[in-house]
C-alpha cells in the first residue's frame, strides 16, 4: 500500500493505493491542481484497490456522465463506471473507496480514476460552498472576466492573447465560484496550466514547439503546459468577477465582434458551465451562488474570426470594454 | 375555474424542482428534465406560497390582497396549469404551513417562460457539463 498527499484547491487529499501502478495512475490527475490556496484546507481520504466489486451499476439518479453513473445512498454516494469499476463515498468520514477490477487495461484504469477523482473533488468542493465552473478567467486590477465556450471554442487562445496585453489569468478551464458572507462572489484558481493546441505558436511564437509534448487526452491534440513557464508572473489565484463572456469561433467574422448579452441570458449561460446534480440541496446551493454571480455580471458575446489574433488592435475593443 | 384544479386541492412545489430569486422574479430548474423556467414577480409570489403547500382558494385570496382583480383569475389559473403541466407543481398530501410570501410592487398577471434548451442530462464528467464527445 502506498500513500501520497495532494492539495487540490481547498481540499487536501490523502491518497492510499494498493499497488504502485494504481498510486501512480491516481496521482497524475490529482497533481494537476497546482494553484496556491491561501486558506486552511479540508481533508479527504481516497483509497484505491484492485478488486472486482461485483455490484450492480449505479442508476444515475444523482448524476449521469459519459462513462459513469452516480446515485445517492444513505451514507453518501455510490458511483460506477461502465467498465465495472465502483466508488463509494462515506460522507461522515469524508472517505472515498475506489475499486478497479484487476483485469482492466491501463487505459481503462486511467479513465475510470479520472472520472471518480473528478467526482470526489467536485463533491468535496461543493461541501465547502464552492461551485466548480468549467470556464477560463482573465483579471486586471479592477476587473475580472469569466470566459465560457464549448470544447475547442477558443477560451485558451483568447486568454493567452489577453495575457500578452498585460492581463493575468486564473486558468483556462477549471475555476471555483463562491458567495461570501457579505454577498459578494469570488472566483478562485485551481490549475495554472493551459491546454494549448500546437498551432497556437502561429499567433504566439513564445509558446514554442509543443508537438514534442504528449496530447493530454486521446480526444484532443492539445498539450498541457504550465502558464508561468511561458508567461512568468501572469497567474492570479483569486478575483471578483465583473464580466461574463460567451466566446464563439466564427469563420465568417473579421476580427472580433462584440455584442451585449441580455441580462436574462447571463444566469442560463453560467448554469451551462457547471454540473448540477439531481439533488435538491446541492442544486439549490449551486443555483443560489450562480444567481448571486449573475446579478453582478455584465454579459457579452464575442465572435472570434479566423484573423482575430493576427492584429493586436482587434483585441483593443475587448480590452476597452473590460476596463 | 381551471379545468384541472379544484378550489380546495392542495398544491405544492415538486420535490425535484429548485428555485432561486433572480431580478424581480425567479428561476426554476427541474432536476429530472433539466428544463428551466423564468417567472415574473407575481409568479414568484405565488410560487412562494406553493413552496410550503397551499390551495387554489388561498392563492386567489392572496393574489386579491396583492391587487389582482376578479377578471384576472383566468391568468392565475393559466399560470398554475403551466406549472402543473411542466411537473413543477403537483398535488400535496401534507398540511399546508401557511408560509408568508414576499410581494411588493404593482400587480400584473403571473407569467412563466420555459427556456428552449434544457441543461444536458448526460454530461462529460462531474466537472465538465458539456455534452460528451463520441468516442
CB contact under 8 A, B123 and A280: no
Nearest chain A residue to B116 by CA distance is: A268
pLDDT of residue B134: 61
Contacts of A276 in chain B (CB under 8 A): 29, 31, 119, 129
Cβ-based contacts of A119 with chain B (< 8 Å): 126
Q: B124 vs A279: CB contact, 8 Å cut-off?
A: no
Report chain A residues whose CB lies below 8 A from the CB of B19.
284, 287
pLDDT of residue B6: 81
Query: How much is the pLDDT for A247?
Result: 95
Name every residue whose Cβ is closer than 8 Å to that of residue A235 and which is 6 or more positions away in sequence: A35, A168, A169, A170, A171, A189, A192, A227, A228
3-state secondary structure of A206: helix
pLDDT tens over chain A, length 323 residues: 789 999 999 999 999 999 999 999 999 999 999 999 988 789 999 999 998 877 899 999 999 999 999 999 999 999 999 999 999 999 999 999 999 999 999 999 999 999 999 999 999 999 999 999 999 999 998 899 999 998 778 898 999 999 999 999 999 999 999 999 888 999 999 999 998 889 888 888 999 999 988 877 777 788 889 999 999 999 999 999 999 999 998 888 888 899 999 988 999 999 999 999 999 999 999 999 999 999 999 999 999 988 888 777 788 889 998 88
Rounded to 10°, the helix B73-85/B56-66 angle is: 130
Sole residue written with cell 467498465: A83
Closest by Cβ to A65, choosing from B15, B20, B126 = B126
- Chain A residues in contact with B127 (beta carbon < 8 A): 118, 121-122, 132, 134, 174, 275
**Residue with the larger pLDDT of the pair B8 and A284:** A284
Hey, are the CB atoms on A275 and B21 less than 8 Å from each other?
A: no
Rounded Cα gap, residues A295 and A150, in angstroms: 23
Question: Taking 60 as the threshold, does the pLDDT of residue B2 lie above it?
Answer: no
pLDDT (0 to 100) of residue A76: 97
Average model confidence (pLDDT) across chain B: 90
Name the pairing type of β-strands A185-189 and A238-239: antiparallel
- Contact between chains at A118 and B23 (C-beta distance less than 8 A): no
Contact A287 B20 (CB under 8 A): yes
Give the strand pairing for A76-81 and A68-72. antiparallel
In this prediction, what percent of chain B has a pLDDT beyond 70? 92
What pLDDT sits at residue B98?
Answer: 60
From A136's Cα to the closest Cα of chain B, the distance in A is 13
By C-alpha distance, the chain B residue nearest A148 is B130
- B4: pLDDT confidence band, cut at 50, 70 and 90? low
pLDDT tens digits, one per residue of B76-116: 999 999 999 999 999 887 776 666 777 888 899 999 999 99
Percentage, residues of chain B above pLDDT 90: 72
Instruction: Tell whether B24 is within 8 A of chain A (Cβ).
Output: no
Is residue B113 less than 8 Å (CB to CB) from chain A? Answer: no
pLDDT of A317 reads 87
Cell 483593443 sits at which residue? A316
Q: Could you give the CA distance from residue A206 to residue A215 in angstroms, rounded to a whole number?
A: 19
- Look at A267 and B27 and tell me if their CB atoms are within 8 Å: yes
**Residues sharing a CB contact under 8 Å with residue A174, sequence separation 6 or more, in sequence order:** A132, A133, A134, A190, A191, B127
Interchain contact B74–A (C-beta under 8 A) = no
Res B28 pLDDT > 80: yes
Residue B1 scores a pLDDT above 50: no
The secondary structure of chain A in percent helix, strand, coil, rounded to multiples of 5, reads: 30, 30, 40
Helix, strand or coil, per DSSP, at residue A270: helix
Per-residue model confidence (pLDDT) at position A151: 75
B134 in A contact zone (CB under 8 Å): no
Report the run of H or E that residue B91 belongs to, with start and end.
strand B89-91
Model's pTM, two decimal places?
0.93
A262 contacts A319 by C-beta, under 8 angstroms: no
Considering Cα of A2, then A101, then A219, then A301, what sign does the dihedral take? negative
Calculate how close chain B gets to A246, using CA atoms only, in Å: 14
Question: Shortest Cα distance from A44 to chain B (angstroms)?
Answer: 17
The shortest CB-CB distance from B15 to any of A114, A272, A280 is to A280
CA dist A31 and A250 (Å) reads 35
Amino acid at each position: 500500500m502506498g500513500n501520497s498527499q495532494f492539495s487540490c484547491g481547498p481540499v487536501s487529499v490523502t491518497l492510499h493505493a494498493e499497488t504502485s501502478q494504481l498510486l501512480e495512475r491516481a496521482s497524475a490527475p490529482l497533481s494537476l491542481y497546482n494553484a496556491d490556496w491561501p486558506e486552511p484546507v479540508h481533508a479527504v481520504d481516497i483509497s484505491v484497490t484492485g478488486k472486482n466489486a461485483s455490484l450492480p451499476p449505479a442508476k444515475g439518479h444523482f448524476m449521469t456522465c459519459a462513462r459513469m453513473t452516480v446515485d445517492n445512498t444513505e451514507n453518501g454516494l455510490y458511483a460506477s463506471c461502465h467498465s465495472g469499476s465502483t466508488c463509494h463515498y462515506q460522507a461522515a468520514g469524508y472517505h472515498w473507496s475506489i475499486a478497479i477490477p484487476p483485469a482492466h487495461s491501463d487505459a481503462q484504469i486511467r479513465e475510470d480514476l479520472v472520472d471518480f477523482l473528478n467526482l470526489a473533488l467536485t463533491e468535496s468542493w461543493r461541501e465547502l460552498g464552492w461551485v466548480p465552473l468549467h470556464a477560463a478567467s482573465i483579471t486586471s486590477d479592477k476587473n475580472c472576466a469569466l470566459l465560457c465556450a464549448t470544447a475547442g471554442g477558443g477560451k485558451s487562445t483568447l486568454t493567452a492573447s489577453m495575457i500578452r496585453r498585460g492581463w493575468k489569468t486564473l486558468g483556462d478551464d477549471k475555476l471555483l465560484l463562491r458567495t461570501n458572507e457579505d454577498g459578494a462572489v469570488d472566483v478562485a484558481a485551481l490549475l495554472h496550466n493551459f491546454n494549448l493546441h500546437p498551432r497556437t505558436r502561429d499567433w504566439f511564437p513564445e509558446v514554442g514547439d509543443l508537438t514534442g509534448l504528449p496530447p493530454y487526452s486521446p480526444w484532443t491534440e492539445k498539450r498541457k503546459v504550465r502558464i508561468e513557464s511561458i508567461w512568468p508572473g501572469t497567474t492570479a489565484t483569486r478575483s471578483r468577477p465583473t464580466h461574463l463572456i460567451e466566446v464563439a469561433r466564427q469563420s465568417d467574422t473579421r476580427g472580433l465582434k462584440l455584442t451585449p448579452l441580455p441580462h436574462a441570458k447571463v444566469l442560463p449561460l453560467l448554469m451551462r458551465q457547471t454540473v448540477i446534480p439531481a439533488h435538491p440541496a446541492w442544486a439549490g446551493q449551486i443555483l443560489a451562488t450562480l444567481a448571486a454571480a449573475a446579478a453582478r455580471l455584465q454579459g457579452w458575446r464575442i465572435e472570434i474570426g479566423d484573423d482575430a489574433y493576427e492584429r493586436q488592435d482587434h483585441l483593443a475593443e475587448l480590452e476597452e470594454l473590460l476596463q | 375555474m381551471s379545468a384541472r384544479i379544484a378550489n380546495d386541492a392542495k398544491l405544492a412545489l415538486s420535490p425535484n424542482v429548485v428555485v432561486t430569486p433572480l431580478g424581480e422574479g425567479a428561476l426554476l430548474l427541474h432536476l429530472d428534465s433539466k428544463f428551466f423556467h423564468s417567472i415574473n414577480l407575481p409568479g414568484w409570489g405565488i410560487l412562494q406560497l406553493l413552496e410550503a403547500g397551499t390551495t387554489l382558494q388561498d392563492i386567489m385570496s392572496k393574489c386579491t390582497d396583492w391587487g389582482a382583480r376578479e377578471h384576472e383569475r383566468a391568468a392565475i389559473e393559466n399560470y398554475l396549469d403551466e406549472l402543473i403541466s411542466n411537473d413543477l407543481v403537483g398535488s400535496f398530501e401534507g398540511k399546508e404551513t401557511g408560509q408568508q410570501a414576499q410581494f411588493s410592487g404593482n400587480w400584473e398577471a403571473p407569467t412563466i417562460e420555459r427556456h428552449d434548451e434544457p441543461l444536458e442530462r448526460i454530461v462529460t464528467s462531474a466537472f465538465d457539463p458539456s455534452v460528451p464527445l463520441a468516442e
